[in-house]
Chain A
């Protein structure tokens, strides 16, 4: 059975003047231990989906349709108290802006401790010891527990957040652009760390990024999002070698392959816009594509 099953999820931002769909009938599922990537440009609705799964979106956003089932339980039916128990225990999240997701006036040890103590009956001393172990797990010295966030480097801070995310051994980890603010070397270290932890703790991952090369490196399956809709969903290799949707191909053409012969890069030309994306159709086993869409111009300048 899938850990997470998202069916026709629709999120709208409602205001007096108009309402905008942040996510439009989005469907996907994640299996135990699987890494699913969601890619797309800024504003396409990736983060909206991630935050909707944890019911973290604020007014004026509301979920206007679809279902989210976690381990068979309907997340959209949970009340605030139930959600509070479920969050982090079962699904943890590393946010886009990990640099600022730590409370600047609390020692990181205290922030790890209050995560543990919110969900487990455990003494402060024990929690503090566990917090030290968690830091060690991401290769940070346990005596940094007494440090404040501003005393850590960006990479260290992100690793603290990852340690925090793993603290309760959740079944699913949502990574929302976890390395965007970091330099390339640190990015690789962080990804390496995530991969090791995933192997060790066997959690499923929803990985969100706009960086296609990172995406292909880490994910088992990839979904491509445009304007709040998924236009193509397939195993990573299929996306890389046999993308069907013109937008996916445009995306793939927009970054250089790490190895192989030099190729000409093509951008996402203004003409490639998709406003009304039809439902997905299965073109091959495990490969879903939205039909239609303008073919891209091969020789776009």
Chain B
């Protein structure tokens, strides 16, 4: 329990740092951020929009020690202001529409990549020098060397444009309204295949190699030799003694890599025009929608921190040594 409490404290601190970074960034720039922003923006903004911008960025006068607590209070109560590009929709409302799609895409690809990659790693390490151990690592490392977005575009071109097997863009077909009926779910799944595939392809090699190397180290542990001497069956030694222990560092790295998956999802969303947080973030950057940008960044950060907390909880279940006696 102490472990989890310490982690929660740490995540709160990390979140506070992100908020503060968000607060500081526009203010560190020379000159008045609102004017600067307006000069870079091509479209003309309505006076209300400018006002909303000023209010969000808190540059309508007042020294920082008055603005900062105010800013903190607004962010923590979920008030990110009003979107500029989709004026006057509140930022939170925009995010609420996008977030589920990113969670779906990121979650599905993370789970597939982790499960499949770890499984391959376990098997490769178990039979060193076998086909899987010799062929898969270099191949997957090569595939993993391509940029996320490039592989996504390649998949889009090959399976979408040329072969016409999969839909080209968005998370569901035009004309359908989101609901829980099977047609819609099937349609969503069809739209999910290519984006998820490209994320899985790029990231699976890392999981496999990581697991393989940990498993090779684990196989040299004394308790594996002991299990072997005890005459246990190979599958039991591999799973209960080997993989079960090698899984622990793998779980830790899930936490560390969630940020990367989010980055990959962001680029993939852009390629497939997938209506998630990443796609929206790029749109916000292009539309110079600073309130939305900040809101999205903080949302993504919060999601990553929560996912890490989840991973910690899983870790505590898996490793009796941190489960304080």
Contact = CB atoms under 8 A, between A and B. Distances in A.
B232 interface: yes
Given A97-B222, A148-B321, A103 B245 contact: yes
A54 B321 contact: no
Contacts of A151: 325
A166 to B, nearest CB: 13
B240 interface: yes
Nearest to B220: A58
A101 B222 contact: yes
Interface residues of A, number: 30
Given A100-B222, A104-B245, A119 B240 contact: no
A100 B227 CA distance: 12
Contacts of A96: 222
B222 A85 contact: no
Contacts of A93: 226, 229
Given A105-B320, A150-B320, A87 B230 contact: yes
Contacts, number: 74
Contact of A118 (B223, B232, B320, B325): B232
Contacts of A289: none
Nearest to A99: B222
B93 interface: no
Interface in B225-241: 225-233, 236, 240-241
Chain B, interface residues (CB within 8 Å), range: 20 to 34
A86 B229 CA distance: 10
B310 to A, nearest CB: 20
B227 A56 contact: no
A56, A93, A103, A164 pick with most chain B CB within 10 angstroms: A103
Given A95-B222, A95-B225, A105-B244, A118 B230 contact: yes
Contacts of B230: 87-88, 114-115, 118, 164
Interface in A99-132: 100-106, 114-115, 118-119
Given A86-B231, A119-B231, A151-B325, A101 B318 contact: no
Contacts of A118: 230-233, 236
A148 to B, nearest CB: 4
A35 interface: no
A86 B231 CA distance: 8
Give the dominant DSSP class at B's interface: helix
B245 A92 contact: no
Interface in A213-237: none
A4 to B, nearest CB: 15
A89 interface: yes
Given A114-B236, A148-B321, A101 B231 contact: no
B245 A95 contact: no
Nearest to A93: B229
A84 to B, nearest CB: 5
A84 B233 contact: yes
A143 B67 CA distance: 60
B221 interface: yes
Contact of A114 (B228, B229, B232, B320): B232
Contacts of B231: 83-89, 118-119
B232 A56 contact: no
A89 B232 CA distance: 11
Interface string A237-260: 000000000000000000000000
B232 A104 contact: no
B226 A101 contact: yes
Interface in A127-169: 148, 150-151, 161, 164
Contacts of A54: 229
Closest 6 CB pairs of A and B: A87-B231, A101-B226, A148-B320, A101-B222, A100-B222, A103-B223
Given A95-B229, A105-B248, 19 more contacts: A54-B229, A56-B229, A87-B230, A95-B225, A96-B222, A100-B223, A101-B222, A103-B227, A103-B240, A103-B244, A106-B240, A106-B241, A115-B232, A118-B231, A119-B231, A148-B320, A150-B320, A150-B321, A151-B325
Interface of B: 221-223, 225-233, 236, 240-241, 244-245, 248, 318-321, 325
Interface of A: 54, 56, 83-89, 92-93, 95-97, 100-106, 114-115, 118-119, 148, 150-151, 161, 164
16 contacts: A54-B229, A56-B225, A83-B231, A87-B228, A92-B229, A95-B225, A101-B223, A103-B240, A104-B245, A106-B240, A106-B241, A118-B230, A118-B236, A148-B320, A150-B321, A161-B226
